[in-house]
Amino acid sequence: MALVFVHAGAQEEKFLAEGFGVKRIDVMYNDFVLIGPKSDPAGVKGKDIETALRTIDTKAASFVSRGDRSGTH
């Protein structure tokens, strides 16, 4: 028996569907944390992360990401 750790949901499902694995179990997850100035110029304090990021995008506010195209940037 072998254990494979990966971080690509769609490819994992395909791997299983093609018969190369028998079970998929989530063992890790990501926390998305938004940090900004106390003055909250984007007006996102208290909003869930998805709403906050959409608000920032809509307002064209300054936003910096690690930008590595990892799926979590």
Q: What percent of the chain has pLDDT over 70?
A: 81
Tokens found for residue 69: 């195209």
Give the pLDDT mean for 5-32: 86
Say how far apart CA 72 and CA 51 lie, in whole Å: 16
Residue 17 has pLDDT above 90, yes or no: yes
Residue 4 has pLDDT above 70, yes or no: yes
Instruction: Count up the domains in the chain and report the number.
Output: 1
Helix H or strand E segment including 14: helix 9-17
Residue 48 has a pLDDT of: 92
CB 49 within 8 A of CB 34: yes
Helix H or strand E segment including 53: helix 49-58
- Indicate the DSSP class of residue 57: H
Note whether residue 54 is domain-resident: yes
* pLDDT tens digit sequence for 43-59: 999 999 889 988 888 87
**Domain containing residue 51:** 9-58
